[in-house]
């Protein structure tokens, strides 16, 4: 477990430890429940190491979870990035988000909104989110961290101007949620709806091969 990730759950662990200690004196049986919640929280804030694919054209998943939808948008939020790959994260998934490509953080902004269940069809458009634009040596991509009915806190570990390696951690979402990656139209999507993916490890798409100009 990384300290940076574990630190985000400090108040949760603090409250649970205090409640466990109190219950041992008052209601010993309740200590079992709080102890179970501590173990669940430790599991939730886990942050395993990942072997990042070396292929410079590979675009990796930004989150652990299940591919919920793949859509080419005509009037999407990023005109140059019409392909959207949405991943749903349950409370049992790792919630650390990683950069899909190597590149510089151009901007990030947080917007308020609703807290619908992350599986709701309107969650992408209506829920609170934080958006990221990352410019790489090949092309740019965008990432959205979207809140859910339980997940109501998005944590940013990076800022504009930071240069990220592919698969490097840039933030996390606390509890069940949704993460979307927006890609250029000529990318080849390599996942299907229902596929399980791991952040920084699973390749979800590839940039096209460069073509040399003939003289």
Mean pLDDT of each 10-residue bin along the chain, 215 residues long: 66 75 81 79 79 94 96 90 95 91 96 82 86 92 88 86 96 84 97 97 93 44
Q: What is the token pair recorded at 163?
A: 């240069």
Task: Please indicate whether residue 99 is annotated as part of the active site.
Answer: no
Spatial contact of 29 and 170, defined as CB atoms under 8 Å apart: no
Provide the pLDDT for residue 197: 98
Q: What is the pLDDT of residue 3?
A: 67
pLDDT value of position 151: 58
Question: Can you give the pTM of this predicted structure?
Answer: 0.84
Q: Which of 177, 192, 202, 215 is catalytic?
A: 177
- 132 neighbors 62 (Cβ within 8 angstroms): no
Backbone angles phi, psi at 180, to 5 degrees: -120, 140
The domains found in the chain, sorted by start residue, are 3-44 (no CATH), 58-206 (2.70.70.10)
Contact 94, 48 (CB under 8 A): yes
């Amino acid at each position: 477990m990384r300290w940076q990730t574990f630190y985000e759950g400090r108040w949760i662990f603090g409250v649970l430890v205090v409640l466990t200690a109190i219950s041992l004196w008052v209601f010993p049986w309740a200590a079992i429940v709080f102890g179970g919640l501590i173990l669940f929280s430790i599991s939730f804030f886990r942050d395993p190491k990942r072997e990042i694919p070396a292929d410079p054209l590979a675009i990796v998943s930004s989150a652990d979870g299940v591919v919920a939808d793949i859509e080419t948008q005509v009037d999407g939020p990023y005109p140059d990035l019409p392909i959207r790959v949405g991943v749903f994260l349950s409370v049992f998934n790792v919630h650390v988000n990683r950069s899909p490509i190597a590149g510089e953080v151009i901007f990030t902004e947080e917007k308020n909104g609703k807290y619908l269940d992350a599986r709701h069809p309107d969650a992408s458009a209506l829920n609170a989110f934080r958006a990221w634009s990352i410019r790489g040596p090949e092309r740019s991509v965008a990432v959205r961290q979207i809140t859910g009915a339980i997940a109501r806190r998005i944590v940013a570990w990076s800022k504009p101007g930071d240069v990220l390696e592919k698969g490097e951690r840039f933030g996390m979402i606390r509890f069940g949620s949704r993460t979307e990656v927006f890609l250029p139209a000529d990318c080849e999507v390599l996942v299907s709806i229902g596929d399980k993916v791991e952040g920084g490890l699973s390749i979800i798409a590839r940039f096209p091969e460069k073509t040399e100009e003939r003289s």
